[in-house]
Amino acid sequence: MVYLDYAASTPVSKEALHVFQQLSRDCYGNASSLHDAGGKANEILTYSRQSLAKLLDGESDGVFFTSGGTESNILAIHSIMNGLPAHKQHIVTTKMEHPSVHYAVNALTHRGVKVTIIEPNEEGIITKDILEEALLPETGLVSIQHANSETGIIQPLAELAPLLKKRHVFFHTDAVQTFGKIRVSLKELGVDAISISSHKVYAPKGAGAVYMSTEVPWKPLYTGAVQESGFRPGTVNVPCIGAFVAASEQTILQLEEQHKLDCQLRDYFIQQLKKQQLPVRTLHDNGKRRMLPHIIGCFFEGFEGQYVMLACNKHGICISTGSACASGYHHPSPAVKALHLSDRDALQFIRISFGRMTSKDDIDQLLHTFMNLQKETEGE
């Protein structure tokens, strides 16, 4: 099998699996228990919190562990809005966000929170002017993803942050797709809250985290919880969190090397598309955008993305038509439509994403499948 869907999920690394197995076997106590077994689990949790905070350029008391990226986004947004006064109940987010962000803001509307959904410019970028136009005196929170999981387009958060600081508006970002791929620093980005997930960095599914600045006056979504300083109820999954942090440490150490490899694979893929004269256009063809190199959004002329994906799957190649969390819905992706494309073009969208084990041979097999698809069209 050729796996080219790393943006959806990554395989568990040997190191992360080893940590998970070891902690499951030797550190099975409840971290909230007062006996020695609980204390041992709590020590692992404390180390994990400190390590992850360091990787995010923050403080350990700002880290709250969750079950994954979706819960991280929902809890971060609700907790921040819960802590804001009545005159700051307006949230701004974008059309391209992960579905979990839209779940969160839609739920907030039922309790009277005003929501504004903004669209990017034709390059897929939220500019300072676009954001400023959406801000109101009652705006309390802005949530903008660091980079889109479907298109790979990176948002200029550091350029937007000063505007929000000036207006005393809190800034949350979904960094699930960027953590471990490019540098994610609380201080450099200028954000107040960050969401991340374990299964994007070669760790088991089931863990995630929210980093919340100590300046944020958050209040929990679930009242009465004692775990994670009240941020989230439920027994803390120490083995999964330990594996998450071990994988994160390893991924960050390899970040520059992997980034270079991703760029080489991307360039090779685009060069071969042109060399073989395949009717495939990529979002990377536009040099005005800053993009993640491991995600390539493509449009295969003459075929809907779903057909291309199924044809690749038939040949043992895994690609995507967009966000896996929205699979099963056969309509243009909001993130792709936000690029001001027609429904026809948006439905042709496919996503290829590289990872630690991707090779040029994998790319060649994909290109060969593309060539066969082209021949089908020419033969009609």
DSSP string, 279-308: SEEEGGG-TTS-B-TTEEEEEETTS-HHHH
Same domain, 292 and 174: no
Closest of 211, 201, 195, 193 to residue 244, by C-alpha: 201
pLDDT tens track for 19-52 = 999 999 987 776 766 676 667 788 999 999 999 9
In the chain, which ranges are E strands?
2-3, 63-66, 90-94, 114-118, 139-143, 170-174, 193-197, 208-212, 280-282, 295-300, 317-318, 349-353
Closest of 167, 279, 201, 209 to residue 48, by C-alpha: 209
Long-range CB contacts for residues 370-378, cutoff 8 Å, separation at least 24: 370/273, 370/278, 370/280, 370/300, 371/276, 371/278, 372/311, 373/300, 373/303, 373/308, 373/311, 374/278, 374/279, 377/302, 377/303
- Give dist(CA 180, CA 252) in Å, integer: 5
pLDDT tens track for 89-148 = 999 999 999 999 999 999 999 999 999 999 999 999 999 999 999 999 999 999 999 999
**Any domain includes 49:** yes
pLDDT tens track for 285-306 = 766 789 999 999 999 998 999 9
Annotated catalytic, 240?
no
pLDDT tens track for 223-255 = 888 888 889 998 899 999 999 999 999 999 999
Same domain, 186 and 260: no
- What is the band of 78 on the pLDDT scale with cuts at 50, 70, 90? very high
DSSP secondary structure letter of residue 322 = S
Same domain, 248 and 262: no
Range of the domain at 316: 2-8+255-371
How confident is the prediction for the chain on average, in pLDDT? 93
* DSSP strand pairing (193-197 vs 208-212): antiparallel
Residue 150 burial (CB count, 10 A)? 28
- Cβ neighbours for 67, distance < 8 A, ≥ 6 positions apart: 206, 207, 208, 237
Long-range CB contacts for residues 115-121, cutoff 8 Å, separation at least 24: 115/90, 115/91, 116/90, 116/91, 116/92, 117/93, 118/92, 118/93, 118/94, 119/94, 119/95, 119/338, 120/94, 120/95, 120/96, 120/153, 120/338, 120/339
- Give dist(CA 66, CA 194) in Å, integer: 12
**Any domain includes 217:** yes
This prediction's pTM: 0.94
Last residue within a domain, chosen from 253, 284, 313: 253
Last residue within a domain, chosen from 253, 287, 308: 253
* Alpha helix positions (H), 88-237: 99-109, 128-134, 157-166, 186-189
- Tokens representing 200? 């994007």
Same domain, 319 and 228: no
Q: Are 71 and 232 within 8 A, CB to CB? A: yes
Which is the catalytic residue, given 240, 263, 312, 325? Answer: 325
- Give dist(CA 180, CA 197) in Å, integer: 10
- Give dist(CA 265, CA 257) in Å, integer: 13
- Tokens representing 326? 């929205």
Checking if the pLDDT of 259 tops 60, the result is yes
Question: CATH no. for residue 25?
Answer: 3.40.640.10
Same domain, 246 and 318: no
Last residue within a domain, chosen from 227, 253, 279: 253
Structural domain count of the chain:
2
Checking if the pLDDT of 341 tops 90, the result is no
Inter-axis angle of helices 305-314 and 360-379, to 10 degrees? 120
